[in-house]
Amino acid sequence: METIKLTINGVEVKVNRGTTVLEAAQAANIYIPTLCADPDLEPYGSCRLCVVEIEKIRGLPTACTTPATNGMVVHTETPAVNEVRRTSVDLLIANHPMDCLTCRQNQQCELQQVTAHLGITERRFPRTDQAFPVDTSNPFFDLDRNYCILCAKCVRTCDEITGINAIDLAFRGYSARVATFGDKPLIESTCKSCGECMVRCPVAALTPKETRRPIHEVKTTCPYCGVGCQMYLGIKDGQVITVRGDRDNEVNGGHLCVKGRFGIAEFVHHPERLTNPQIRKNGKLAETTWDRALDEAAARLGQYAPNEVAVIASAKCTNEENYVLQKLGRAVLGTQNIDHCARL
């Protein structure tokens, strides 16, 4: 791939042709504020916070939509740039709660980071009395439009990444908001509850119902199907409380479906989860050892003819486990009756 050189704030940066100015700055660890840019989404250029000055180019182009070119000279922190950014943020927060200390997103919020960078501590424009009801209909996350800054990351995620298109930006002026078809609650829409929009929301508009934050994380593989998505389980007090996809993994690139993102903690800690082998005697299940359970299963299976036995494999098993199970069915039990739950 052809490489090009440009200068950003006096620092020479070498990147591949096709890189945007924003990506080039990020590669050189130069912070340019953004609220609508996401490495997984197409450039959008709507929040206008990544404006920069580029020598020999008129105006203030957005770094996220401007391709870097050889010899380009970029300045990211001039008075003109910061005046435009400041006005953009003033408009964004005109109707924003700004109750950071009690906000679910406190210290993880991109708007908070941007206002701190620009030294904004209070509103310049008067607040209106516009207020939206909070949509709590989804079992896993809430949509509080009062915090929404209309960056459209959620809408673009649902279109570009999940392909569901459950939400869009609707209405105009102060009534503009993220809405489902017919402006119904999320639970009545085509939303698949994958939470991909939630993880990209830069503010507290889309937040998980689980508000605790983990103390440490453990990397693992999602147990739900054979795709093998990699994830980090967030742990607090010995319990799984959060799940996030591993962005560096080639299998899922950080993406998760509803089962992986929201379905782990409940079953891992469910009081009815079986954690020991059990044998049913006189209609009642009783705990036993693995040796006894396996002996019992082998003895009972031996009482049946091959065509009286069927084996159902599981999408929760690894390929290797499913391979061994079909070997057990065909070579040991002598049956061709083998199927897989993924076909149901």
Binding residues for ligand SF4 (CB under 6 A): 96-100, 103, 105-106, 109, 111-112, 147-154, 157-158, 162, 164, 166-167, 178, 191-197, 201-206
Cβ(31)–Cβ(114) under 8 Å? Answer: no
CB of 53 to ligand SF4, least distance (A): 27
Q: Is 62 helix (H, G, I), strand (E, B) or coil?
A: strand
Tell me 68's DSSP state.
Answer: P
CB of 70 to ligand SF4, least distance (A): 34
Nearer to ligand SF4, 116 or 298 (CB): 116
A 10 A CB-CB count for 316 gives: 14
Nearer to ligand SF4, 210 or 296 (CB): 210
CB of 144 to ligand SF4, least distance (A): 8
Q: Which residue has the tokens 């799984």?
A: 240
Separation of CA 172 from chain center = 28
CB of 237 to ligand SF4, least distance (A): 25
Nearer to ligand SF4, 263 or 329 (CB): 263
CB of 76 to ligand SF4, least distance (A): 22
Nearer to ligand SF4, 32 or 47 (CB): 47
Considering only CA atoms, which of 251, 260, 146 is closest in space to residue 199? 260
What gap in Å lies between CA 96 and CA 145, rounded to an integer? 10
Q: ∠ CA 133-185-151 to the nearest 5 degrees?
A: 70
Nearer to ligand SF4, 64 or 313 (CB): 64
What gap in Å lies between CA 332 and CA 310, rounded to an integer? 12
